[in-house]
Amino acid sequence: MGGQGAGPIQREEHDFAIWEKRVDALMVLCGEKGLFTVDGLRRALEDMGEDTFEKHSYYERWIAAINQNLIEGGVYTLEELGNRMEEIAKRGKTYGEAQNG
Amino acid sequence: MPHDHPDHFHHHGISSSGHPYRADNDEPLTYWQRMEIAVRELLIEGGHVTAAEVAQQINTMDSRSPANGAVVVARAWADPEFRARLLQDASAASREMGFDIGPLKLIAVENTAKVHNVIVCTLCSCYPRNLLGLPPDWYKSREYRSRTVSEPRAVLREFGVELPDSVTVRVHDSTADMRYIVLPLRPNGTEGMSQTALAELVTRDSMIGTGLVQAP
């Protein structure tokens, strides 16, 4: 990343949505509980490649990387994740309806 | 969290930095939001974390802000012995003031009349988050991360920081375990101000190095 050409810095900022704060919290807790380390997070992020970096937001990339590490670590299976995500889709059309928080 | 463009909160689509604007809770559920819910539930059901721990961690991060770093900077300006301890070991000096720095190695780099420091994380987004809270969006952007190492003076100019050629610019690239914070230059005309008043002058960007502290 360092040294590559790039355009002007966009200075707009946004308040974090609750789902983004939860992703951040899950990463900190996974580290504290010894499930995987920030190096594991970074490896998964690096593996995504430039295309993913451009297309997805910061915490979208983070939850994908967290999920990859947890599946690799055997915390749950890909099937369990898929089933749960399908079930969550049926709870409602918005994050507010589906969040279980 | 400071923000200059609140109108963007409800704006749909992708910003020119490639980052989508915030989606509120009443907007359509995305694939990634479903993944967050699923991961969180599976971690809780597996007994790895509790819902209370997730909520507590969010509260902890919400309570961290640049105001924490500002009181550390103000004390360093007013108290030479503390300043020496801060430059020696910023983790210990910050803990001394009651801030939870965790296991991170925090390094304070001091701006002087001859040296200006700026921090970046070229790898990802490492930031002194235990002291300043979560980083601003631009800190995590490709543009800031790549250009700060290749053309720091041009980046600083975009932030309104014009430095004479006689000032050396030092760029510090953070890592997961080693985070930097800039001890900005105390502005002239602030002699005799209380630490509380000094702290109010210290901005987030001045502790990243993309800003200067201005006299009141």
CATH of the domain at A61: 1.10.472.20
B213 within a domain of the structure (yes/no): no
Q: Which two tokens stand for residue A18?
A: 């609750």
Last residue of a domain, one of B42, B62, B82: B62
Last residue of a domain, one of B62, B85, B101: B62
DSSP-based three-state secondary structure for B79: coil
Residues B57 and B84 grouped into a single domain: no
Residues B102 and B203 grouped into a single domain: yes
Give just the sign of the alpha carbon dihedral B37, A101, B134, B90.
negative
* Closest CA in chain A for residue B29: A94
Of B54, B138, B149, the CB nearest to A11: B138
Are B129 and B203 in contact by the 8 Å Cβ rule? The answer is: no
* CB atoms inside a 10 Å sphere around CB A74: 7
Residues B27 and B48 grouped into a single domain: yes
Number of domains in chain A: 1
Residues B49 and B77 grouped into a single domain: no
Residues B185 and B129 grouped into a single domain: yes
Nearest chain A CA: its distance from B81 CA (Å) = 34
pLDDT at B215 over 60: yes
B172 within a domain of the structure (yes/no): yes
A22 within a domain of the structure (yes/no): yes
pLDDT of residue B25: 63
The boundaries of the domain holding residue B108 are 66-208
DSSP-based three-state secondary structure for A70: helix
Nearest chain A CA: its distance from B117 CA (Å) = 17
Residues B170 and B85 grouped into a single domain: yes
A53-57, B103-107, B111-115, B164-168: least confident range: A53-57
A41 within a domain of the structure (yes/no): yes
| ipTM score | 0.93
B22 within a domain of the structure (yes/no): yes
Q: How far apart are CA A96 and CA B180, in angstroms?
A: 37
pLDDT of residue B27: 74
pLDDT at B117 over 70: yes
pLDDT at B63 over 70: yes
B1 within a domain of the structure (yes/no): no
Residues B106 and B30 grouped into a single domain: no
A78 within a domain of the structure (yes/no): yes
Per-residue CA distances from B21 to A9, A59, B179, B193 (Å):
16, 12, 27, 40
A88 within a domain of the structure (yes/no): yes
Residues B92 and B157 grouped into a single domain: yes
pLDDT of residue A5: 62
Q: What is the mean pLDDT of residues A62-68?
A: 96
CATH number at residue B112: 3.90.330.10
Residues B185 and B204 grouped into a single domain: yes
B190 within a domain of the structure (yes/no): yes
Residues B178 and B106 grouped into a single domain: yes
Q: pLDDT tens, A7-43?
A: 899 988 888 999 999 999 999 999 999 999 988 998 9
Helix (H) or strand (E) holding B116: strand B115-120
Number of domains in chain B: 2
Q: Which residue has the tokens 């360093």?
A: B76
The boundaries of the domain holding residue A79 are 18-98
Q: How many residues does chain A have?
A: 101
* Closest CA in chain A for residue B10: A14
Under 8 Å CB pairs connecting chains A and B tally to 207
pLDDT of residue A38: 87
Of B15, B38, B122, the CB nearest to A2: B122
Of B48, B54, B124, the CB nearest to A25: B54
B214 within a domain of the structure (yes/no): no
Last residue of a domain, one of B43, B62, B81: B62
Q: How far apart are CA A72 and CA A66, in angstroms?
A: 10
Nearest chain B CA: its distance from A99 CA (Å) = 6
B150 within a domain of the structure (yes/no): yes
A92 within a domain of the structure (yes/no): yes
pLDDT of residue B102: 83
**Interface touch A10/B17, C-beta < 8 Å:** yes
pLDDT of residue A46: 87
A50 within a domain of the structure (yes/no): yes
- What percent of chain A shows pLDDT beyond 70? 95
pLDDT of residue B2: 42
Residues B55 and B147 grouped into a single domain: no
Top pLDDT among B216 and A1 is at: B216
Residues B28 and B120 grouped into a single domain: no
Residues of B involved in catalysis? 121, 124-126
pLDDT at B4 over 80: no
AA letter at B77: W
* Closest CA in chain A for residue B121: A2
Q: Which residues of B145-177 are buried (b: 16+ CB within 10 A; e: fewer)?
A: bbbbbeebeebbeebebeeeeeeebebbbbebe
B215 within a domain of the structure (yes/no): no
pLDDT band at A71; cut points 50, 70, 90: very high
